[in-house]
Amino acid sequence: MDLAARLEALALRAEQDVRTVATLERLEELRVAYLGRKGELAELLKGLATATAEERPRLGALANEMKQRIEASFASADQALRTAASASQLAGEKEDVTEPGMRPPQGHLHLVSEAIREISAIFEKIGFTRTRHPEVDWDHFAFEALNMPKDHPARDEWETFFVDAPVSETHGKMVLTPHTSNGQVREMLRGELPIRMINIAKTYRRQSDATHVPMFHQFEGLFVDKQVSIAHLRGILDHFFQAFFGPTRRSRLRPFHFRFTEPSFEIDISCGICDGTGLVDGAKCRVCKRGWLELGGAGMVHPNVLKAGGIDPDVYSGFAFGWGVERTYMMKEGIKVDDIRILYKNDLRFLQQF
Ligand code: FA5
């Protein structure tokens, strides 16, 4: 057979072989066998060297034509195999809309936010209105108007952060509020009586241990009307204790001294960690140490505070209380949190338990 006939036979055979190929890998093997540097076509083309000068241009053109035919058949087989592969992959991935769906994990509000909602709802039910007073405020509202003159030693207990801001001639320095009691006089100055306020806000003190964090929340109740007495205070506190802690826990009022209430009390709850015994597994309870945990202070609003709020103490009286939200939450039935700082560690293993 001469070179021209052998070239045509090679192209024909290549086209037939390519038609039977089922995988891309096999196609590549064939491509190397026909068109590779040491393939059949390269082998035939060596014959060109021995062709006569007249024959060489015709054979060269024919060799090119055959090479293009073989390449074209490989290209179209490659395209067909790729299309078939992706079609079968898509068929395998077809979505079954009747399959049960996967539920994305569902989060919940932070425990402190949940406690704030619950506390607000309990007081709103008995006619208190939730207010928001500033969390960064003048010394005047945080201390002075609360019957705590400048340099009074009682201020030390609040371990206050002062803000580096211009000092006001009338209201003094700016502070990160160490308690929500700054809302008392601010609420009175709104001039609407009677007052039934529940002010819940962030508060700050330079403290950190198992029962103290530097940023915490307080809820401040203020009730001002004619003929308000300690009996009303006790009634409101009992209502809150029943609603928030349930019927089994005990509370007590302990005489205390605050400059802005007279008389004043601290309110304790029997500890939920040691069930009021002061002992856990024979050792002192790390949260309360004595069976009772202080939740906050309360008392009858001092006449000087009513005056600072523009209210006549001979006509009106009132009571106020201020409690820590985190401490109150820690004492809830079934919540066995024995270190307040864990509430702010953002550890999902802890938070997901609730
Ligand atoms: C006060 O802050 C008074 N303003 C409360 C008050 C209001 C008394 C109205 C009378 C009338 P005290 O410093 O005791 O009081 O703080 C109240 C409560 O805030 C504490 O019992 C505790 O529950 C919470 N608390 C105080 N400091 C921290 C802290 N660093 N971390 C977490 N909770 C705290």
Indicate if 128 and 263 belong to the same structural domain.
yes
**Average pLDDT over every residue of 229-251:** 88
Looking at ligand 1, which residue's alpha carbon is closest to its atom 16? 296
State which of 146, 180, 327, 328 you would mutate to test the pocket of ligand 1, scoring each by most atoms of that ligand within 8 A of its C-beta.
327
115 & 236 share domain: yes
For residue 328, is pLDDT > 80? yes
Mean of the pLDDT values across residues 250-268?
93
pLDDT of residue 20: 92
Whether 57 has a pLDDT exceeding 80, the answer reads: yes
Question: Rounded mean pLDDT of the chain?
Answer: 92
pLDDT at 240: 93
Q: Which helix (H) or strand (E) holds 121?
A: helix 111-124
Query: Is there a contact between 133 and 186 (Cβ–Cβ < 8 Å)?
Result: yes
Cα(354) to ligand 1 centroid in Å equals 26
pLDDT at 155 over 90: no
Confidence label for 121 from pLDDT (cuts 50, 70 and 90): very high
Query: 314 and 179, same structural domain?
Result: yes
98 assigned to some structural domain: no
Task: For residue 157, report the distance from its CA to the centre of ligand 1, in Å.
Answer: 10
244 & 327 share domain: yes
Is 48 among the domain residues?
yes
| Pair 81, 121 in one domain | no
Q: With a cut of 90, say whether residue 71 has pLDDT above it.
A: yes
Task: Tell me which residues have their CB closer than 6 angstroms to ligand 1.
Answer: 179, 181, 205, 207, 212-213, 216, 218, 220, 258, 261, 264, 294-299, 320-324, 326-327, 340
Whole-number Cα distances in Å, 176 to 102, 140, 173 = 46, 12, 10
- Which one of 63-67, 94-98, 140-144 scores highest in mean pLDDT? 140-144
Let me know whether 256 and 322 are in one domain. Answer: yes
What pLDDT does residue 175 have? 96
Of ligand 1's listed atoms, the one at least distance from the Cα of 218 is 19
301 is a domain residue: yes
* 151 falls within a domain: yes
Same domain, 77 and 128: no
- Residue 1 clears pLDDT 80, i.e. is over it: no
* 248 has a pLDDT exceeding 80: no
- Here the CATH number for the domain that contains residue 256 is 3.30.930.10
| 141 part of a folded domain | yes
- Of 128 and 154, the structure prediction assigns the larger pLDDT to 128
pLDDT > 90? residue 33: yes
User: Domain limits at 37?
Assistant: 3-91
* Residues in Cβ contact with 291 at an 8 Å cutoff, skipping those fewer than 6 apart: 270, 271, 274, 276, 277, 278, 285
Note whether 271 and 151 are within 8 A (CB): no
- Residue 298 and residue 258: Cα distance in Å, rounded? 8
Closest C-alpha residue for ligand 1 atom 24: 324
Task: Please state, for a pLDDT cut of 90, what percent of the chain lies above it.
Answer: 67
Q: Are residues 36 and 150 in the same domain?
A: no
**The predicted structure's pLDDT at residue 271:** 84
The answer as to whether 232 is a domain residue is yes
pLDDT of residue 336 exceeding 80: no
296-305 mean pLDDT: 97
Q: How far apart are CA 240 and CA 230, in angstroms?
A: 15
179 vs 35, 46, 141, 163, 327, CA distance in Å? 87, 98, 10, 15, 14
Domain stops at, among 41, 63, 91: 91
Share of the chain above pLDDT 70, in %: 100
Query: Which ligand 1 atom is the nearest neighbour of the CA of 327?
Result: 23
More confident residue, 206 or 101: 206
How confident is the model at residue 93, as a pLDDT? 81
For residue 175, how far is its CA from the centre of ligand 1 (angstroms)?
16
Confidence tier at 18 by pLDDT (50, 70, 90): very high
Has residue 131 been placed in a domain? yes
Which atom of ligand 1 lies at the shortest distance from residue 328's CA?
23
Q: Give nearest CA residue, ligand 1 atom 26.
A: 324
* pLDDT tens column, 207-239: 999 989 999 999 999 999 999 999 999 899 889
| Judgement on whether residues 164 and 255 belong to the same structural domain of the protein | yes
Interhelix angle for 3-20 vs 55-92, to 10°?
Answer: 0
Residues 71 and 175 reside in one and the same domain: no
82 and 226 housed in the same domain:
no
- The structural domain count of the chain equals 2
Task: Give yes or no: residues 80 and 149 share one domain.
Answer: no
**Average pLDDT estimate for 246-257:** 87
Residue where a domain stops, chosen among 91, 125, 157: 91
pLDDT over 90 at 101, yes or no: no
User: Which residue bears the tokens 């000092």?
Assistant: 167
Nearest CA to ligand 1 atom 31: 212
Residue 106 lies in a domain: no
Region 320-337: what's the mean pLDDT?
A: 88
The residue to mutate among 147, 156, 157, 181, having the most atoms of ligand 1 within 8 angstroms of its beta carbon, is 181
